[in-house]
Amino acid sequence: MKIRSVLPWSLGALALSVTAAAFAHHPLSAKFDSAKETTLTGIVTAVDWRNPHTHVFMNVTRGNTVENWAVELESPIILRQSGWAADSLKPGDQINVSGMLARNGTRQVWGENVTKGGTAVYTVSDARPAPSTEPTPRWPDGTVALGTTGGGQDGYWSFPSETVMVEDGVNVPMDKYGLLTNVNDAAKVAPLQPWALGIYKLRQERQLQDDPMFINCKPPGGPRQFQSELGVQLLEDKENARVFALVGSGNRNYNIIYMYDRQTGLVTGDDDNPLYYGRSNGHWEDGTLVVNTKGFNEDFWFSNGGLPHTDLLQLEQRFTRTSKGTMEYSVTVNDPGAYTRPWTASWTLQWVDGEEMPVHFCQNNRQ
């Protein structure tokens, strides 16, 4: 093959991969347009199996020309959970792809359906394993175990029943990233003050593309850490009276819940050095862990979908492990800077038994 004929393809693939990397981690709707669907048939040239999104590069022949396309898929973590591997597709395989086109007009498509020889490849099952109904694990002293009870066991909480925050009792259609089907429903989601409603609608109208968790690798502070597809781990340090909430998707950062009224030491107040996860104190109420948190900064989105908050935000989070497999979670949002009254949202988390929490790092921003 002549270099002259290879060069344009190589440059095209390079341009596609650079474009893909420059806008790599994102809510789906921020990058792809559900109103523009396409189908492609072509030959796989490469599989880029890396977080946060797998990419399959393919050549599509149209008449006498060959176009280079990038097919974007879920992360390797999620694909692996569905039984796929990096070599499930190989260069030279002929595939058919259907999915949404990129908003920016580049040759990128979200691979909703990828088939090889008529068989689906890299599909992700939304079906979750049935949660264990075994009794709630307890420590030797009888208190509820929030995670494992030691002894080298693995496990973490995942499969949130809701990945978006909406006030309890309200039913508003939106996708799993929090993008409203109809932006005019914004006022129903929570009791937003007028300015906060305006900001929420702006974020929605911009397809959530300004989410600092994606573009700046900001932590998923507040309740957002309990709506991550990649899970969260509650690690109890009983000797030091604290619980660590380890986040599966936020560069392995964590929140410390102090199980005593921590007013002394390095942390002296809420006005100095506000934090992404705030400052949390916890206590038990009849088998429910109650966590009160304040001292948040304003540099992150505390929910998928972009509900605003201010540094006046205070949370009361309640964790009730009703069985080995299920954690009931509720959060009451009290932010007089952004909402007209306190409001509550609830969902459940499911125990993933015997597995380590997946590791995902957001690096170099945007990636």
Secondary element (H or E) of residue 57: strand 55-62
Give yes or no for residue 216 binding other proteins (CB under 8 A): yes
| The two structure tokens encoding residue 121 | 């490849």
Give yes or no for residue 198 binding other proteins (CB under 8 A): yes
Q: Where are the alpha helices (DSSP H) in 23-64?
A: 28-31
Which residues touch 102 (CB under 8 Å, ≥6 apart)?
31, 32, 33, 108, 109
Give yes or no for residue 202 binding other proteins (CB under 8 A): yes
Give yes or no for residue 37 binding other proteins (CB under 8 A): no
**How many residues sit in the footprint of other proteins (CB under 8 A)?**
24
Interface with other proteins (CB under 8 A), residue from 156, 300, 343, 347 = 300
Interface with other proteins (CB under 8 A), residue from 336, 355, 356, 359 = 336
Q: Report strand pairing: 254-258 vs 279-285.
A: parallel
Q: How far apart are CA 105 and CA 118, in angstroms?
A: 28
Interface with other proteins (CB under 8 A), residue from 311, 316, 328, 353 = 311
CA distances in angstroms from 234 to 3, 117, 124, 136, 312, listed in the order given = 56, 44, 27, 15, 26
Closest CB to other proteins among residues 91, 269:
269
- Region from 67-75, 211-219, 240-248, 287-295 binding other proteins, contact rule CB under 8 A: 211-219
Interface with other proteins (CB under 8 A), residue from 25, 53, 218, 321 = 218
Give yes or no for residue 308 binding other proteins (CB under 8 A): yes
Structural contact between residues 366 and 215, judged by C-beta atoms closer than 8 angstroms = yes
Interface with other proteins (CB under 8 A), residue from 37, 337, 342, 346 = 337
Give yes or no for residue 235 binding other proteins (CB under 8 A): no
- Region from 49-57, 107-115, 196-204, 318-326 binding other proteins, contact rule CB under 8 A: 196-204
Structural contact between residues 293 and 280, judged by C-beta atoms closer than 8 angstroms = yes
By C-alpha distance, which of 306, 308, 328 is closest to 317? 328
Where on the chain is the footprint of other proteins (CB under 8 A)? Answer: 194-195, 197-199, 202-203, 206, 210, 212, 216, 218, 298-301, 308-312, 336-338
